[in-house]
Structure formats: structure tokens, C-alpha cells
Amino acid sequence: MRLGRLMKVFVTRRIPPEGRAALAQAADCEMELWDSDEPIPSKELEQRVAGAYGLLCLLSDRVDKKILDAAGANLKVISTLSVGVDHLALDEIKKRGIRVGYTPDVLTDATAELAVSLLLTTCRRLPEAMAEVKNGGWTSWKPLWMCGYGLTQSTVGIMGLGRIGQAIARRLKPFGIQRFLYTGRQPKPQEAAEFQAEFVSASQLAAESDFIVVACSLTPETKGLCNRDFFQKMKKTAVFVNISRQPGGGTHTTTAISRGDVVNQDDLYQALASGQIAAAGLDVTTPEPLPTEHPLLTLKNCVILPHIGSATYKTRNTMSLLAANNLLAGLRGEPMASELKL
């Protein structure tokens, strides 16, 4: 479809090549790009978005009333290169009849791989071991030096047996896990059958698991779920991993909460520092990025990653192409592959 006048679309970052190519090749729009890996300053975004029919943005771009006013009446669609939508003023966007595209359901495999990697890295103390090699701590062989905890014959508790939770369990099963436990809003017998997973309360999961992986959606109900009481119920030898995610479904929430908020980080610090639990691995924190002086970063038994759950070349390219196609569909008045229902 070719229109008489090309529709301006603004892209707030240098996105992966497949999405960029889809927009560049579209016959009915003209792409303008903030050609940087760093976020566009808010004032710059106000200027550059003026007159745009479409906006492709990232989680770090706060699209509020001020940005929407600056864009003007032409703006028909916002496509975000993310599952989360807390950076979008959804009530204001809905009032203006602007459609929203997002990128759910393409991160599952990459995020599950990262969760297993983080679990193994944490329970086998790999960062500590690497540091010992570099700082001269590696001397003679010692029977208990750098010992960690193995997965074989262990109990794994998964908080949230959604797509990602199931993908994590599927990858862990070949390690010889003896028992899977899971929590959630309700039992999922069909999904749990593959792993013979048992539906239990959060308290029981905390008390009986050797390894706990938080893979639930972050919602007002799950905010602060892993707190002092939770950690006190855990085994002293237990390892805790948090990769909690934004909810992905068809409707929106207006509550802005950081992805790390399912965990009370002050309570987690106390549990780790006091030896209440053995170790923790986090791919999500509050805030993000985590300040370099944060107490958790002083602990050897806490592994923190910079929110890289979806960071594979394939996944990020898939996300960028989906975001671009959502944007183009919105411009053309066509159904989007992944539209947020407002």
C-alpha cells in the first residue's frame, strides 16, 4: 500500500537490523532514527517525535502526556520493543485512541536459558572461582575449597509455572531433579504433569526447596512476596534466583513497579549476609541499573546480572522485527501480531 504522502515514524534507538530493515523498506513510511545505543534525552524526544504517525520506543523511554502532546494529533501507533509497558502513559494513550504494540512470547527460550545459567553460576560459585584464579587464591587442591551445591536429586521450587517457568523446568529436568514444586494463582495440572510438579503454598515451597527460581509475573499481588518471612523459611543451603518478569497478557496495568520488586532486597541482603540462605542470583533488581554502591554488590554469595534475560542475537532481532511489524500494521489500520488491548 502506498500513500500519497509518506508517514513519519520515529525510532528512539539503534535497534537490531531486522526491524530496522523492515521499516526502511516500507513504501508508506519514512523512518527517522535516534542513531545511538544510549537513550534519547527527553527534550530531544519531544522535538523529534513532533508530527510522527508512529513511534517505536524502548523501556527506557518514558512516553508520558508531555511526549504525546509534542507528537501531536497525527500519532496513530506506539510500538514498544519490550514485554513491559510501565513506561507508557496507557490511560492517556487510550484517551487519544492510539494503538499500542508490544513483544510478548518471543523471550521464553532465551530467558529460560539465562535462568538456568544464572542458577548454575550461583550454586557452583563460578564468579568466586574465577576471581580466585585471577587473584592468586588458587594454590593447592583442597577437599572443600570452592564447593557449591549440585542439582542432582534436589528439590526445585518454581514460583510461576507460566511459559517461562515451564521452559526452565524442562531444561532442569535432565539434571536429575528429584522433585519439582510450584506456586501460582491456581494449580496448573496439565502443564505440571510433564514434570510431575506439585502445587504448594509459597511457605511450603520456601521450606522444602533446595533451589528456588522466581519466574512469576510481577504484579501488585506478588510485589514483596519474597521477604524476611519467606527467607527465614528457606533452608540454609538453599539457592535463590530471581528472573521475575512483566505480565504479558492482553490487558494493561497502570501500576508502575520495578521488575525486581517481587523480592524485598533489604531482606534478601540480610538473609545472605547472615547465612540464612546460601546464595542468590538476580537478573532483575530495584532499581535498574543497580547503583554500584548497593550492599548486595558487596556479597560474594550474590550474583547480579544487568537484566540480560532476552539478550541473544536471535531473540533481540525477533523482538525488533515484531516491533517494526506491529508499528507498520498500526499505521495501515491492520491487525497487529501483538497488540496491547487498552
Active site residues: 307
Look up residue 25 and give its three cell numbers: 523498506
* Pairing relationship of beta strands 99-101 and 339-340 according to DSSP bridges: antiparallel
Residue among 81, 86, 42 nearest 286 (CA): 86
User: Which CA distances in Å does 251 have to 9, 165, 326?
Assistant: 25, 21, 17
Strands (E), 162-233: 179-183, 198-199, 211-214
Distance CA 221, CA 148 (A): 33
Q: Which single residue is written with the C-alpha cell 513506561?
A: 87
Element (H or E) spanning 330, and its range? helix 313-331
Distance CA 302, CA 218 (A): 21
Q: How many residues does the chain have?
A: 342
Look up residue 2 and give its three cell numbers: 502506498
Look up residue 224 and give its three cell numbers: 514483596
User: Which CA distances in Å does 157 have to 50, 161, 205?
Assistant: 49, 10, 6
Look up residue 118 and give its three cell numbers: 544464572
The residues pairing with 47 across neighbouring beta strands, listed in sequence order, are: none
Distance CA 278, CA 274 (A): 9
